[in-house]
């Protein structure tokens, strides 16, 4: 898909850049320059299968082409620079929201049909219905613009040196607080509702009645049901990595956090196709790896799946 899309679409980056220069009234522009640009960006008119093998060969060597917006920096080096920040945001915020959300959902499910349950449900639904970037703006407005509590952007302060020292780590935490908070708030709702909907059938099931009759204590029963209800949410965990990468893109651009998202927005504004494809490919790979890891973990957690394979 990543290979086909740009080739199916009429026009190519070289033409876009060429037209831009024409519009700006650049001098010394003629079709030979267009050809030069095409060579520069690795666009050829070779048969499609030749292009495909060329593309795979380049991928294999970590060559994703050259960015247009950040010319002449190659896409791969931009990604290497931006990826750690994004991964940091995504992993920390998903993990936190996963734990908080599941606990809240469990609380709501155990106390179902009460006002506490209703309050948690409504809160979760409302949070899930808020567009992520609007929430990000509100948070930014309250805490940074008017409150002056948190910084307006960046990943770390200018007064610290990069590396594993205490001031740097504190600065990173301080700068990441607001983005992580918004991602947690927007992704919390899904976990809460999912957990609640999983644990209610579990609490009504036969094995819970059985363990009740065996004389298990209340908290033991709840934790048994919780463990069982957690399993479907684990698969959701993998899928949410992909979803929140998309959410992170928006939030990074708002908090001007130097991750992949900020580059993505720049790439869209300047029609930087190579950079966009590089980011897209990388995100898809990240999501696939995440899915794979969770699938393997799932096998460890759920004995039923292991038995099926044997």
Partner 1 sequence: MQDQNYHRIPERSVHYERFMSVMEKIRSSLGVILENNKSRVGFALLIGIVVFSIVGIFYTPYQPDAYLFARGLPPNSVNILGTTGYGQDVFSQLLGGAAPTLMIAFSVGVFGTLISVFVGLLSGFASKRVNEAINAIISIFLVVPGVLLIMLFGTYFLGIHESLGYLPTIIILVITGWAFGARTFRSITLSIAKRDYILSSLLIGESRMSIIFRQIMRAIMPVVVSNFFFTSMYGAMGLTFVEYLGVGNVEQVNWGTMLYWAINNEAYLTGQWWWILPPSIMISMLMFSFILLNFGLDEMANPSLRVYSRKKRIVKND
In angstroms, what is the minimal distance from the CB of 197 to partner 1? 6
In angstroms, what is the minimal distance from the CB of 225 to partner 1? 12
Residue closer to partner 1 (CB basis): 171 or 244: 244
| Cβ partners under 8 Å of residue 91, min gap 6 | none
Q: What is the per-residue binding string for partner 1 in 206-235, x denoting contact by CB under 8 A? A: ---x--xx----------------------
Question: Which of 55, 81, 112, 298 touches partner 1 by CB under 8 A?
Answer: 112
Q: Is 272 exposed, middle or buried (0-12, 13-18, 19+ CB in 10 A)?
A: buried
In angstroms, what is the minimal distance from the CB of 279 to partner 1? 8
Question: Cβ(7)–Cβ(51) under 8 Å?
Answer: yes
For 113, how many CA atoms within 13 A lie in the half-sphere containing its CB?
A: 1
Question: Which of 3, 133, 168, 216 touches partner 1 by CB under 8 A?
Answer: 133
User: CA angle, 160 as apex, 155 and 165 as ends, to 5°?
Assistant: 95
H-state helical runs in 156-272: 166-203, 206-214, 218-254, 260-269
Question: Cβ(248)–Cβ(259) under 8 Å?
Answer: yes
Q: Does 285 bind partner 1 (CB under 8 A)?
A: no
Q: With contacts defined by CB under 8 A, name the span among 38-46, 62-70, 71-79, 203-211 that binds partner 1.
A: 203-211
Q: With contacts defined by CB under 8 A, name the span among 28-36, 138-146, 164-172, 299-307 that binds partner 1.
A: 138-146
Instruction: Look at the block and give the residue holding tokens 């594993």.
Output: 164
CA–CA separation, 304 vs 310, rounded Å? 10
Residue closer to partner 1 (CB basis): 181 or 268: 268
CA–CA separation, 221 vs 34, rounded Å? 71
Question: Cβ(262)–Cβ(252) under 8 Å?
Answer: yes
CA–CA separation, 5 vs 7, rounded Å? 5
In angstroms, what is the minimal distance from the CB of 105 to partner 1? 13
| Cβ partners under 8 Å of residue 234, min gap 6 | 294, 297, 298, 301
Q: With contacts defined by CB under 8 A, name the span among 10-18, 40-48, 91-99, 164-172 that binds partner 1.
A: 10-18
What phi and psi values does residue 67 have, to the nearest 5 degrees?
-70, 145
Question: Which of 3, 6, 40, 168 touches partner 1 by CB under 8 A?
Answer: 6
Residue closer to partner 1 (CB basis): 169 or 292: 292
Q: Is 208 helix (H, G, I), strand (E, B) or coil?
A: helix
Give the residue among 267, 101, 262 at the shortest CA–CA distance from 192: 101
Q: Does 104 bind partner 1 (CB under 8 A)?
A: no
Q: What is the per-residue binding string for partner 1 in 22-61, x denoting contact by CB under 8 A? A: ----------------------------------------
Q: With contacts defined by CB under 8 A, name the span among 64-72, 167-175, 247-255, 297-305 that binds partner 1.
A: 247-255
Q: With contacts defined by CB under 8 A, name the span among 58-66, 156-164, 175-183, 268-276 that binds partner 1.
A: 268-276
Residue closer to partner 1 (CB basis): 77 or 204: 204
Q: Which residues bind partner 1 (CB under 8 A)?
A: 1, 5-6, 9-11, 16, 112-113, 125-126, 128-131, 133-134, 137-138, 140-141, 145, 193, 197, 200-201, 203-204, 209, 212-213, 239, 242-243, 245-247, 249-250, 264-265, 267-269, 271, 273, 276-277, 279-280, 283-284, 287-288, 291
């Amino acid at each position: 898909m990543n290979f086909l899309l740009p080739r199916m679409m009429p026009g190519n980056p070289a033409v876009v850049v060429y037209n831009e220069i024409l519009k700006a009234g650049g001098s010394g522009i003629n079709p030979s320059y267009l050809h030069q640009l095409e060579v520069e960006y690795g666009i050829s008119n070779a048969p499609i299968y030749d292009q495909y093998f060329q593309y795979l060969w380049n991928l294999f060597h970590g060559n994703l082409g050259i960015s247009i917006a950040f010319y002449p920096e190659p896409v791969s080096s931009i990604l290497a620079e931006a990826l750690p920040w994004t991964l940091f945001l995504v992993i920390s915020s998903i993990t936190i929201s996963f734990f908080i959300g599941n606990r809240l959902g469990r609380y709501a499910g155990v106390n179902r049909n009460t006002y506490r349950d209703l309050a948690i449900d409504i809160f979760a639904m409302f949070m899930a219905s808020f567009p992520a970037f609007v929430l990000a703006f509100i948070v930014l407005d309250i805490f940074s613009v008017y409150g002056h509590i948190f910084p307006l952007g960046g990943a770390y302060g200018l007064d610290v040196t990069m590396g594993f020292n205490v001031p740097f780590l504190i600065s990173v935490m301080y700068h990441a607080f607001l983005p992580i908070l918004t991602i947690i708030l927007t992704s919390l709702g899904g976990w809460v509702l999912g957990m609640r909907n999983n644990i209610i059938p579990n609490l009504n099931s036969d094995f819970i009645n059985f363990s009740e009759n065996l004389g298990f204590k209340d908290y033991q029963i709840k934790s048994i049901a919780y463990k069982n209800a957690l399993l479907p949410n684990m698969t959701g965990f993998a899928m949410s990595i992909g979803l929140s990468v998309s959410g992170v893109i928006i939030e990074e651009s708002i908090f001007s956090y130097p991750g992949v998202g900020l580059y993505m927005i720049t790439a869209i504004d300047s029609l930087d196709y190579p950079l966009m494809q590089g980011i897209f490919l990388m995100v898809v790979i990240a999501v696939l790896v995440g899915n794979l890891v969770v699938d393997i973990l799932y096998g460890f957690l759920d004995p039923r799946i292991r038995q099926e394979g044997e």
